[in-house]
Amino acid sequence: MRSPKDFFAPLAVGAPAPVREIPASPSRMIHFFDPSNEKMAAKVPDLAAKTDVLLGNLEDAVRADRKEAARAGLVSIAKATDFGATQLWTRVNSLDSPWVLDDLITLVTEIGDKLDVIMVPKVEGAQDIHYVDRLLAQLEARAGLRRPLLVHAILETASGVANVEEIAGASPRMQGISLGPADLAASRRMKTTRVGGGHPGYLVRSDPAGDDLHSGRTTYQQDLWHYTVARMVDACVLHGILPYYGPFGDIRDVVACEDQFRNAYLLGCVGAWSLHPVQIDIAKRVFSPEPKDVAWARRVIAAMGDGTGAVMIDGKMQDDASVKQCRVVAELADALAA
């Protein structure tokens, strides 16, 4: 049995072993664009200045007869654009499609030095990551690339969710995992036709008031994605990679989008996808800790001294565990300020 680190061995004779580094720069929003759409492509330099990650999408939402144009468009945009500190990612076609082999060969050969992360859709298990990992190693060696490309899996099949721990640990190239709620809903035969977010029928109802069973009862919508996001976060933490919420398709419903992103943030996700510039701002706001939370965290850290024991602050007990929670918030604020 090969260990995951064997899949990272350099193919070139005498080459030093490459080191995996998840980019330290933030990735609060992964902004999708269609490189076959000339109007969208023209906006890339502007968007690159606004987003943490820009992703050239080749998979779903690109028509079958536009796949080649999208691939070629991404190559020319990547060559012509200075992305500065913004990371450039791509989402290639799925491993069972007729396009993915050419996607990987072309992108690694032509713009492998510009790309940071390759997002792989519909990952079912570790075998899918092993396949991409070996192919990337061959293509990187042939192209003479010294910096290994990283891999990001979309969790969007029932079998992917069942295998999420092995996917997260399948290769040192793994950068992170995103929830793909649309494909996952279809794979699980859930009865929602929405792309991400909740559903008005998925609710709990308060107890009846008095004898009247139907009046005065409040309903609360529940989070359809709570279980999967929590499971994905645990798998990512276990293997030291980053979890993300995926798409929120109702662009006009900025309130529900913000609520969904915040649920994911509070559960441990570091970012979400953005399908429209308006969602860039939502994700930036949600995935950056609020100043009042940062101030509170710093107060607790200062009061806790060496981080052991217990203190009372504003009537709330703080101890070794709560100071660790506060460090998560303070460290995120420091990383974003750097």
Candidate residues 180, 181, 198, 271; the one interacting with Mg ion per rule CB under 5 A = 180
Q: What angle do CA 89, 77, 336 make, to 5 degrees?
A: 40
- Minimum CB separation of residue 186 from Mg ion in Å reads 9
Residue 160, H or E segment: helix 158-162
Identity at 45, one-letter amino acid code: P
Output 181 or 243, the one with its CB closest to ligand GLV. Answer: 181
Where along the sequence are the contacts to ligand GLV (CB under 6 A)? 60, 121, 154, 156, 180-183, 246-247
Helix pair 67-80, 100-111: axis angle to 10 deg:
10
Output 26 or 160, the one with its CB closest to Mg ion. Answer: 160
If binding is defined by CB under 5 A, does position 183 make contact with Mg ion?
yes
What is the C-alpha separation between 59 and 180, in angstroms, rounded?
13
- Candidate ranges 149-157, 167-175, 263-271, 311-319; the one touching Mg ion (CB under 5 A): 149-157
What is the C-alpha separation between 335 and 26, in angstroms, rounded?
8
- Minimum CB separation of residue 136 from ligand GLV in Å reads 21
In a 10 Å sphere around its CB, with 0-12 CB exposed, 13-18 middle and 19+ buried, how is residue 68 labelled? middle
- Minimum CB separation of residue 233 from ligand GLV in Å reads 17
- Minimum CB separation of residue 180 from ligand GLV in Å reads 3
What is the C-alpha separation between 78 and 25, in angstroms, rounded?
19
- Candidate ranges 5-13, 85-93, 131-139, 155-163; the one touching Mg ion (CB under 5 A): 155-163
What is the C-alpha separation between 194 and 201, in angstroms, rounded?
12
181 binds, among ligand GLV, Mg ion, none (CB under 5 to 8 A by kind): ligand GLV
Output 180 or 289, the one with its CB closest to ligand GLV. Answer: 180
247 binds, among ligand GLV, Mg ion, none (CB under 5 to 8 A by kind): ligand GLV
The bridge status of strand 174-179 relative to strand 203-205 is unpaired
- Minimum CB separation of residue 113 from ligand GLV in Å reads 27
The bridge status of strand 29-33 relative to strand 53-57 is parallel
If binding is defined by CB under 5 A, does position 124 make contact with Mg ion?
no
Output 172 or 181, the one with its CB closest to ligand GLV. Answer: 181
Beta strands in the chain (DSSP E): 29-33, 53-57, 87-91, 117-120, 150-155, 174-179, 203-205, 219-221, 242-245, 271-274, 311-313, 316-318
- Minimum CB separation of residue 247 from ligand GLV in Å reads 5
- Minimum CB separation of residue 314 from ligand GLV in Å reads 41
What is the C-alpha separation between 130 and 5, in angstroms, rounded?
11
Output 163 or 322, the one with its CB closest to ligand GLV. Answer: 163
CB 183 within 8 A of CB 144: no
- Minimum CB separation of residue 313 from ligand GLV in Å reads 41
Output 133 or 183, the one with its CB closest to Mg ion. Answer: 183
Output 149 or 185, the one with its CB closest to ligand GLV. Answer: 185
Output 167 or 182, the one with its CB closest to ligand GLV. Answer: 182
Contacting positions for Mg ion (CB under 5 A): 156, 180, 183
